[in-house]
Chain A
């Protein structure tokens, strides 16, 4: 029996549990002996002119090696020219900063545009000295009016980039849509708030230069992409750069590639001729690492009184923060997925991107798709409320039927396979939907203080959106019968080492204990893309599978030669991992025998798998919430989900991905928001203020099984990494609103904090 699809606990864990991981701050390498610490001096102003920097006192402080500012960066080439017409479409592969008038400098030149922008760096022998010396760097700021929020950015009263003439770097606004034939049309503005990714390990990088070769250790999801970013920044041949991703303490999209902070660390290491290490503090992380979401939606939905949705219009404004990094690209995914899992005849979607004096926006678990789902799911609920129909029933009436796949969406996506209605029915049955509605009715009847809310969401998402970039794998079978996989994919918690070893065992019968998986070192693996957009298994896993098959065919020839049999008569017994003449297990050869018989080139194969295409996981969630109508406090009591990501390789791992995503989705719906005051000061700049969700605020989750295989790849796999945030966020928000619907509450923006809920209740009661 194949190991695929079985519950296998992770091979990664014993080391992490007993010795701890080796994150950038834990590296004790000879190359980093004597590494100085990098401490960033960051802007305390959201928008200001820099009129002077005096580092003389800092330079005299104990342990200071150097204090460096923009004026010291005279030894790297200017940034490449901007791409024509804005960011290239269709790829999440690299951050896409806009150049030209929107250019983001490595260190602030004469202006700062967000609190947390890097202004100078202090290099010291230890980190305590760094914090002291950074305080002594005197920067003269002349404050400018700050642009905070989408409304102010669009108004354009203050421009972040006067040379650009506007605060809108990209504009493809939604066109008009006639809502002909609609009995009911509902329109509303919805905020999808700015949140912080908060990987438990913040950003970190170390760098050294030896004989002209740069080595950078960085907490990244993509060592290979990082290498190309560095090569571009320094004008160097990528062959002279080694990037290593050691253990990475979570990424969630915010560690795609590497930030300019890491480029500065690498540059400074060359500038001062000493290895350097930078590990950001959490407070630094909350303003320096990119944020996610930060969209404003205007949704308009129309349909018939019997529940059929006929038309939907979504207009997105993306706050991309102070500089257009990947935030300029994210709304294209929101537009692409605008109609969600519904068969709606007429859909238009568009977007504008605005700059504000806040931390730049980039990917965060879902990256544009949770926003699309949140918008359409709110719209469906508003429509259901308007026509007085059960929200689950409205969904069932509009979900793409199973006989319609592959389904061409009006926004350009080709949904590959699915059973959307089956998924909805399964989750409703699993949640006991009818019983929940009955309990809700009883509480309403009794006028209970604690009301029950039931939130339903259905979603479809796109994973491996950039499948044509593909992924690499190299397999080597060694003379002792062990194997090594070199993957271009990149692990930071997902369990690649376990999964890839399972694929080798399933294909070749080499037990997974004998399989070593390596990732994240560009000297060993120069070509690769890495991990984002839920792409790993369906691209990187398939690449491993393909490499297995190539090795298997090489081995067949070698075994035939060894056994003096014809290749056609040989078979591989994947249970025992032995080659044998068909039907005659008596005389067989092991992988060690076969590998030892290979020539000098060894038994190895390299695959760059680019034949994939994006896949479209789907599912439905039910959140059950209790809402205290006197205090506004919300408690999530149950969360039931169907998340169908095709064929499951290891249920243990897919469940883990779902759990984590659900928690982050619930967190956005209930608690988390990066808040700025009118001057652009972050009010949630520490973990004491930012409401990261804890164990005490969550129930155990109820996960239901659904597997509709993808047909585009041989593993049948779709991505699972982001399903949780996509499905859970709107279900949770909806549950809160649903608990109060009998009071006349139709909408509460996220996060549905007690004060917002209480205010909504008060306003609804006042208007009755």
Chain B
């Protein structure tokens, strides 16, 4: 089937198999590989992207469901090339990433969380990111980064 998705402002149209997952559309068709696949049960959130502004786990969305929609990945977050979005800057400043694998999903989940709740408490950050796993940081600096970004 033909699917057309606007990914980071660029319209991407392709003929794909019906069962194609959005994450594979983003990675293999749109060629944006920052978004990672970390599990097969929608548990880890590494594949989190924004679909029409809402965070979704793109391993659990069919590309067909995103037909006609806008998708934002971490590559498209900054307003200018070479710049960083405030959430990206906060992750850098607070050492909120180590191996980097969960990071694109974690950043996108954070963007979504702060859009819904611009001034969250620590507890709200922790529960808000419960669906995104990180094995390196113990979440400590991620939480600090989210709180720091919320104050910008």
Contact = CB atoms under 8 A, between A and B. Distances in A.
Interface of A: 9-10, 12-14, 16-23, 25-26, 28, 128, 198-202, 247-250, 252, 281-283, 492-495, 652-653, 655-656, 659-664, 686-688, 692, 694-696, 698, 700-701, 724
B148 to A, nearest CB: 13
5 contacts: A282-B41, A660-B137, A687-B44, A692-B43, A696-B127
A250 B36 CA distance: 13
B28 to A, nearest CB: 8
Nearest to B100: A16
Contact of B141 (A14, A25, A28, A656): A656
**Looking at chain B's contact residues, is the secondary structure mostly helix, strand, loop, or mixed?**
loop
B71 interface: no
Given A20-B75, A249-B36, A698-B140, 9 more contacts: A12-B100, A17-B74, A19-B75, A250-B135, A656-B137, A659-B140, A659-B141, A695-B142, A696-B129
A698 B74 contact: no
A21 B37 CA distance: 13
Contacts of B19: 128
A147 to B, nearest CB: 29
A23 B37 CA distance: 11
A181 B33 CA distance: 66
Contact of A17 (B103, B132, B135): B103
A695 B135 contact: no
A494 B100 CA distance: 11
Given A282-B44, A724-B138, A17 B107 contact: yes
A494 B98 contact: yes
Nearest to B133: A692
B91 interface: yes
A128 B107 CA distance: 28
B99 A493 contact: yes
The 8 closest A-B pairs by CB, nearest first: A20-B34, A249-B101, A663-B138, A493-B98, A493-B99, A16-B100, A659-B138, A687-B43
Given A17-B97, A660-B135, A700-B140, A201 B38 contact: yes
Interface in B13-62: 17, 19-20, 27, 31, 33-44, 46
Contacts, number: 185
Contacts of A686: 39-41, 43
Given A20-B33, A200-B135, A249-B36, A660 B98 contact: yes
- Which one of B125, B126, B144 has the highest number of Cβ atoms from chain A below 10 Å of its Cβ? B126
Contacts of B100: 12-13, 16-17, 20-21, 247, 249, 493
Given A17-B103, A20-B35, A200-B102, A698 B97 contact: no
Nearest to B46: A200
Contacts of A250: 98-99, 101, 135-136
Contacts of B41: 282-283, 686-688
B38 A282 contact: yes
A659 B137 contact: yes
B99 A200 contact: yes
A660 to B, nearest CB: 5
B72 interface: no
Given A252-B135, A656-B141, A663-B139, A282 B40 contact: yes
Classify chain B: how many residues form its interface, as a range.
35 or more
A655 B94 CA distance: 11
A662 B36 contact: no
Contact of B135 (A13, A23, A198, A494): A198
A365 to B, nearest CB: 10
B4 to A, nearest CB: 21
B133 A694 contact: yes
Contacts of B138: 659-664, 698, 701, 724
Contacts of A698: 126, 138-140
B136 A14 contact: no
Contacts of A652: 95
Contact of A199 (B78, B92, B99, B141): B99
B7 interface: no
Nearest to B134: A200
A247 B97 CA distance: 13
Nearest to A701: B140
A373 to B, nearest CB: 18
A12 B92 CA distance: 9
Contacts of A688: 41-43
Nearest to B87: A17
Contacts of B142: 695
B93 interface: yes
B84 interface: yes
B36 A695 contact: no
A198 B99 CA distance: 13
A653 to B, nearest CB: 7
A300 B60 CA distance: 51
A682 to B, nearest CB: 14
Nearest to B89: A17
Interface in B94-138: 95, 97-104, 107, 122, 125-127, 129-138
A660 B102 CA distance: 14
Contact of B34 (A19, A128, A701): A19
